[in-house]
Amino acid sequence: MKETLDTDITIEAPAHTVWAILDDIARYPEWNPLVPELGGRTTVDQQVEGVLTREGMPTVPLKPTLTAIVGARELRWLSERPTPGEFRAEHYFVLDKTNDDITNLTHNEDFAGTFLEQVWEPINTLGRAAYEKMNEALKLRAESYASEKPALHPAVDGGSYASESLVGQTLRCGCACAQVEVKINGPVYHNHLCGCSKCWKPAEALLAMIAVVSGGNLEVTSGGEKLAAVDGDQKIVRYACRDCGTHMYGRVDDADHHFYGLDFIHPELVDGPAPRPEFAGFVSSLVETGTEPARMGAIRAQLSDAGIPSYDAFSPEIMDMIAWHKVKLAES
């Protein structure tokens, strides 16, 4: 005997957001009424373990093996009884990305085996109702994430940018008194947001703000004795205030490095508005530093609404320059 329990739902959220919720099984207890508990690693051929709950039916242990994973498109797992041919169930989610903001979700399970005839009626009625309840819960969670308006960075969220050059202005640390002060004596270029784990970020900001000045154009005018290298083993050595932790500038000492001759600053540390960011880089690194993958769609949408292109490295302009630098090194 073979049967399919078929359900579907349209979710007003990007497929990436829906997928991230399905794949983040550790958070199932927060929202999933059908599978309120599931543990393990979601990679192909791995077995995960939890429970399946359906109103009006017994709670049953769940120990399926993951059989297919296609990021943001498909997730399948297989449960079988030890006796061959007795009972087999393949549970699957297929995400159809109709556009960037709408996902059609197919949530089905294919059943087969000699035991199926005894249990199909409650599966098809009570089980179907439980699957549809999960679909609605998934829709609610995904649409909630998709509609979020995350705080990216105070300079961006305020929407006010510098209309004049920062030449002659002073970067100040966060100390209430005896501040570290660094004067900018040259033009500021390539201002951007960054999601990497190394860049200093203001409190509550998801992204750092970084710009560069040509070497020799920064002058420590006060509090230099409070500056210390954050990590001297990094290619870009950041110097921060020992007291408040604010990063004041970064410098490259390796003459072969593609950023040699540049100093990195956080332009929001001047007294007035910072320049408008040209792009946001290393955005996906936010996941590595603790941001829920399901929230990344809203973050990228907020950047887009602010007119800031987002990338998972530097901008194409800078990446081309880095590639050309590698060619120059190889030919020298």
Active site residues: 194, 196, 199
By C-alpha distance, which of 294, 283, 303, 292 is closest to 72? Answer: 294
- Asked whether 146 and 13 are in contact (CB, 8 A), the reply is yes
Query: H helices within 153-199, ranges in order?
Result: 154-157
Q: Which residue has the tokens 């960037």?
A: 100
Dist. CA 120–CA 2, nearest whole Å = 10
Instruction: Tell me which residue of 321, 326, 297, 306 sits closest to 141, measured CA to CA.
Output: 297
Q: Look up residue 48 and give its two tokens.
A: 């995960």
Q: Where are the beta strands (DSSP E) in 165-246?
A: 170-172, 181-184, 189-194, 208-214, 218-222, 227-229, 236-241
